[in-house]
Amino acid sequence: MATIVVYVEQENGKPIRASLECLGAARAAAGSQGASVVAVVARAGAKDAAAKLGAFGAAKVVCLVGAARPSADATARDVARVVRDQKASAFLAAATATGKDLAPRVAADLDVTLFSDCTGFEAQGGSFRVVRPWLAGKAIATLSTQAPVLCATTRPNAFAIAEVGGTAEILDVAASDDGKAIVTSVAPKPGGKLDVKEAPVVVSGGRGLKAPEHFKLIEDLAAAFGNAATGASRAVVDAGWRPHAEQVGQTGKTVAPQLYIAVGISGAIQHLAGMRTSKVIVAINKDAEAPIFKIADYGIVGDAFEVVPALAKAVQEVKAHK
C-alpha cells in the first residue's frame, strides 16, 4: 500500500493552516489509492501538534524530538529518513518559507526532483501527478515524475482541509542535532500581521494611491475584514513605499486568496500573473480602461480616496452583524 509523507509545520503546538491543507491534499489523493498518510512534525511543540493531526487525515505521526538546535538541513535529513523508512511514494510540504526551504533538501537527499507551489495533486494509476503554474501562472503544467518518490510543495489556499476526525498512531523518533546552519533566534512579525500568501483576503494597493502615507486606506480596509493581509504592486515596492514581503506578482509572491481587492493597480501582466487564481477579484480604479478590470469579477470605477473608506465602513458593518 502506498504511503504519502507530509511535513506538518507547527507554531507553539498548533499545526499551521497551510500544513493542514497540505495534509488535506494528501488525504484526498490517498483515498482513491487506499494509501495512508504519515505526518512528520518537528521542533518544540511537536508532541502537542502531533496529537491533533489524526483529525485531519494522518494515520500515523512521526515526531522528531530532542533536537536542541533548530536546523533546516538536519530536519531535512530526518524527514528524508522517514520517507525512506515508510517506503513512501510521495512527499509533500506546504509552500511556506519553511516548507520551500525544507522540501528541496529532502528531495535532494532522496535524489529526486521537486515540484514547488503546486495547485493540484492527484493519484493517477499507481502513481501521482501535480498541477503547477509556470511563469507565475501565465501557463499551467501537469507534471509527473520518473523518480520513485514524487516530492512537492502545495500552495496555501489551494487545497481543502480534510476534517475526518480520526486518531493517529504517534511515533517518537530522535531528531538529528548536527545542523550545518542553525536558527539562533526568531523575531516575530509586529502585531502578528497575516502574510499575503496565507491570508484568505488580500487588499493590495498600487501607484493609484499616489503616496506611501495613503496606504493607511489599504490597511484600514484590511483591518475591517479582520482576516486580510495587505499587498502591493511592484511599482510601489520599487518606489520604497511598501516592503518587498507584500509584493504580489511575478517578481514577488503568487497568491490565491478567496478575495483579492486591487486598489489603484492598473494590472500589468506581471501583477495579473501573481493573483489571477484568486477566487474572487475586485478592482477599484479611476481608469475604466485599466487592464485589471478585464480579470476582475467586480469593478468600481472611481477615486480610491472616496471608494475605499466607504467600502471599509460597509465591510465593518457586515462583520459587526455576523
Partner 1 sequence: MKIAACIKRVPTTEAQAKIGSDGKSLDSAGFQYMPSFYDEIAVEEAIKTKEKLGGDVTVLTLGPQDASKELREFIARGADAGAILVDPAWHARDARSTAKALAKKIGALGAELVFLGRVATDRDNAAVGPMLATYLGWACVTEVVSIEITAGKGVAKRETEHGVETVEFALPAVITCNKGLNEPRRPNLKGIMAAKSKPIAEEPAEAVANQTVVEKVELPPARKAGRIVGEGAAAVPALIKALREEAQVL
Site residues (CB under 8 A) for partner 1, limited to 253-292 = 254, 258-259, 269-270, 276-277, 279-282, 288
**160: contact with partner 1 by CB under 8 A:** no
Calpha distance 228→298 (Å, rounded):
18
Closer residue to partner 1, CB minimum distance, 250 or 266: 250
Out of 14, 84, 87, 138, point to the residue binding partner 1 (CB under 8 A). Answer: 138
- How many C-beta atoms surround the C-beta of residue 13 within 10 A? 15
Half-sphere exposure of 147 (CA within 13 A, CB side): 21
Do strands 120-124 and 127-134 pair parallel, antiparallel, or not at all (unpaired)? antiparallel
Site string for partner 1, 161-180 (x = CB under 8 A): -------------------x
Residues in the chain: 322
Out of 7, 56, 91, 115, point to the residue binding partner 1 (CB under 8 A). Answer: 115
Q: Tell me if 157 sits within 8 A of 16, measured CB to CB.
A: no
Calpha distance 119→102 (Å, rounded):
19
Out of 100, 164, 219, 220, point to the residue binding partner 1 (CB under 8 A). Answer: 100
Out of 54, 57, 104, 267, point to the residue binding partner 1 (CB under 8 A). Answer: 104
The x, y and z cell numbers of residue 207, run together, are 501607484
**223: contact with partner 1 by CB under 8 A:** no
| Span near partner 1 by CB under 8 A; candidates 28-36, 81-89, 214-222, 301-309 | 301-309
The one-letter amino acid code at 54 reads G
Size of the site for partner 1 (CB under 8 A): 90
